[in-house]
Chain A
Amino acid sequence: MTNQALLKVDNLCTYFKLPKPHLFAEAPTVFAVDNISFEIPRGTTFGLVGESGCGKSTTALSVLRLVEPTSGSVRLNDADICKFKPGELRAFRRHMQIVFQDPYSSMNPRATAGEIVQTPLKIQRIGTPAERQQRAAELFELVGLRREQRDLFPHQFSGGQRQRIAIARALASKPEFVVCDEPVSALDVAIQAQILNLLRRLQKELNLTYLFISHDMAVVQYMCDEIAVMYLGQIVEKADRRSLFVNVQHPYTKALLSAVPTIDPDVKVTSQRLQGDVPSPMNPPSGCRFHTRCPIAEPVCRNEIPLLRETRPNHLVACHLV
């Protein structure tokens, strides 16, 4: 049951063409997501982690076709999402939903919380108005809100409560697959635990499959069963939860881990600091994209693109030097 892949992403690329700077120039292209592949077994959580601009959110949006991928395939339950016509895609959306980062801007301020949660049902034409009302009430209780709160407007809720509404909305059409795009980044520290616990409880109860996007290594470590680290649109390391942290191999992952502040004094072994900023994805470095900031780069890194290869069971790394 758990080993069967629910979502399969193969060679996904999403490029954005920018306006031409002048008439005869070539349009500059942002290589936001460049050839990434992964699978998510049913009932598990797959984490994408990386710095801002590494393409993790674009990956999430491309998987749901909220952004049109340039090439590659995304299969959910063996249905190729990239080949759907608009009408088919809309009908299929009931199986895949998303929780956005900012619970303040992802809701219509003029609709009541109950209407917001019922919107997916209305769009999918599920149930009669009375049944939808009933379903909204159930969902409110499922995510830890009171039924009566359906008549309130978003501004009457706190950030944590709004994120609960967003989760209720995502679950309304009984999806199997939910993308969580930085679901706790905008929340206060003490509220984050409530939402993370809620997401894990719902996963167990409803056998949900999550694609979990975050820039916070600690949150990803806590939530995910398998984790991929992204840098400039590509996956540089991918492994199961334990292996990634115990046998960390890619120099970028190492640097990322050593930069995370923690209260556990055992974690700090090496303090490697990356120099400079992430290069522009419009003009990514040749060869290994990380070579400009890599502490152990060699000439080969500048010229040849490293491929993801398995260095241990279920542990993939894209680096020439490990």
Chain B
Amino acid sequence: MKGKEPILEIKDLCVDFEVRRGTVRVLNNLDIHLERGEALGIVGESGCGKSMTALSIMRLIPVPPGNIAQGEILLNGRNLLNLKEKEMQDIRGNEISMIFQEPMTSLNPVFTNGSQVAESIQRHQSVSRATAKKKAIEMLRLVGIPAPEQRFAQYPHELSGGMRQRVMAAMALSCEPSILIADEPTTALDVTIQAQIFDLLRDIQKKINTAIILITHDMGVIAEFATRIVVMYAGRKVEEGPVREVISNPRHPYTRGLIRCVPFLKKDPGTTREELNEIPGMVPSLSLLGQGCPFAMRCDYTTEQCQVSFPPETTVGVNHTVMCWHTEDVK
């Protein structure tokens, strides 16, 4: 099933959050693996647990109210959930690093761009300040920032959104991490800038063989960037497989709805327009979910079985798995 050795394995992960009315399970029996150097896309609507997955891997979930109820996250066979905070700090930004959605808010406005990049180099590598600075400038050049020597001394507010995201990328990649998590890295950016950022990530992925987890709600972005896709819904994985295969032949009703409900750019739009497919209703509140399939209340194929128990993982193709009782009907 797994082609290459996985560098990261999430096994049976459950994450709970304490809220006023009780406990909410935000991640439910999640199994995801990541191979060395691959690009994995995680897709889903807001609240489906994409960002929670990223934060769990980084051990950035606030405890309490959060609580990792069960499961393990193995980085090269080592369970991250058993590490002490100090040990985790050696991993964050060094072996696993992250690019956040908002380049406007994730840089510190009172430090220069360069010093923020140099900080992580100094933290993880035993180098002098001067060397760290030199390396930071080199990183800024690598991510395509013009005149990096001048940009080094400037503050984040002096840069455009795209440039700030490049600084974030420089920071994240400065220690040549083996895993990069990009959480909606281009959502706040224009498409032409988005294309530049993805070119950059692709380049760097090749150069230092980083595995990338790309979290997004945009199926188009996943189709162009990732090789494998995980579709999440209400804290669970519902479909997983090679990108092309899943997009051309989705076997979960939710994946299918997600692909059909968005207009995609066509080369020739023709003269007629079909109505867009709607997924009726909206994502249910996580606190109201029972034992059944969380998508049951919005699904066309729902039967009684869907209401009472969550379907097991069914293999429907090469490396293509679906969690649905009615996989055979969805074709």
User: Complex formed: what's the CA distance from A219 to B225 in Å?
Assistant: 21
Residues of B within 8 A of A259 (CB): 191-192, 194-195
Residues of B within 8 A of A215 (CB): 190-191
| Interfacial residues, chain A to chain B (CB-CB below 8 A) | 51-52, 158, 160, 188-194, 196-197, 200, 215, 217-219, 221-222, 241-242, 245-246, 255-264, 266-267, 269, 273-274, 276-278
- CB pair A218 B268 closer than 8 Å: no
Contact of A256 among B160, B192, B267 (CB under 8 A): B192
- CB pair A196 B263 closer than 8 Å: yes
Tell me the dominant secondary structure on chain A's binding face. helix
Contact of A245 among B218, B263, B266, B279 (CB under 8 A): B266
List 18 A–B pairs whose Cβ atoms lie within 8 Å, in order of A's numbering. A158-B282, A160-B282, A188-B46, A189-B45, A189-B218, A190-B261, A192-B261, A193-B262, A193-B278, A196-B276, A200-B275, A260-B191, A261-B225, A263-B220, A263-B259, A267-B267, A276-B146, A277-B160
Chain B residue at minimum C-beta to C-beta distance from A293? B192
User: Complex formed: what's the CA distance from A191 to B261 in Å?
Assistant: 8
- CB pair A262 B192 closer than 8 Å: no
CB distance from A161 to the nearest CB of B (A): 8
CB distance from B119 to the nearest CB of A (A): 26
Residues of B within 8 A of A196 (CB): 263, 276
User: Complex formed: what's the CA distance from A260 to B218 in Å?
Assistant: 11
Contact of B262 among A192, A246, A257 (CB under 8 A): A192
- CB pair B268 A242 closer than 8 Å: yes
Contact of A221 among B191, B192, B265 (CB under 8 A): B265
Residues of B within 8 A of A263 (CB): 219-220, 223, 247, 259, 264
CB distance from B268 to the nearest CB of A (A): 5
CB distance from B177 to the nearest CB of A (A): 24
User: Complex formed: what's the CA distance from A217 to B269 in Å?
Assistant: 12
CB distance from A34 to the nearest CB of B (A): 20
Residues of B within 8 A of A273 (CB): 192, 195-196, 199
- CB pair A261 B218 closer than 8 Å: yes
- CB pair A246 B268 closer than 8 Å: yes
Residues of B within 8 A of A278 (CB): 190
Given known A242-B268, A261-B218, contact A217–B276 (CB-CB < 8 A)? no
CB distance from A8 to the nearest CB of B (A): 25
- CB pair A262 B223 closer than 8 Å: yes
User: Complex formed: what's the CA distance from A257 to B267 in Å?
Assistant: 9
| Interfacial residues, chain B to chain A (CB-CB below 8 A) | 45-46, 146, 160, 162-163, 190-196, 199, 217-221, 223-225, 247, 257-259, 261-271, 273, 275-279, 282-283
**Quick one: which of A190, A200, A255 has the most chain B CB within 10 A?**
A190
- CB pair B220 A260 closer than 8 Å: yes
CB distance from A173 to the nearest CB of B (A): 28
- CB pair B160 A190 closer than 8 Å: no
CB distance from B158 to the nearest CB of A (A): 13
User: Complex formed: what's the CA distance from A274 to B278 in Å?
Assistant: 34
- CB pair B263 A261 closer than 8 Å: no
User: Complex formed: what's the CA distance from A190 to B259 in Å?
Assistant: 9
User: Complex formed: what's the CA distance from A189 to B44 in Å?
Assistant: 9
- CB pair A242 B270 closer than 8 Å: yes
**Quick one: which of B46, B190, B196, B258 has the most chain A CB within 10 A?**
B190
User: Complex formed: what's the CA distance from A127 to B22 in Å?
Assistant: 48
- CB pair A221 B279 closer than 8 Å: no
Residues of B within 8 A of A269 (CB): 267
Chain A residue at minimum C-beta to C-beta distance from B43? A189
CB distance from B246 to the nearest CB of A (A): 10
Residues of B within 8 A of A274 (CB): 192, 195-196
- CB pair B221 A261 closer than 8 Å: yes
- CB pair A218 B191 closer than 8 Å: no
- CB pair B220 A51 closer than 8 Å: no
User: Complex formed: what's the CA distance from A221 to B146 in Å?
Assistant: 34
User: Complex formed: what's the CA distance from A274 to B268 in Å?
Assistant: 23
Given known A242-B270, A256-B191, A263-B220, contact A193–B264 (CB-CB < 8 A)? no
- CB pair B263 A222 closer than 8 Å: yes
Residues of A within 8 A of B275 (CB): 197, 200
- CB pair B192 A218 closer than 8 Å: no
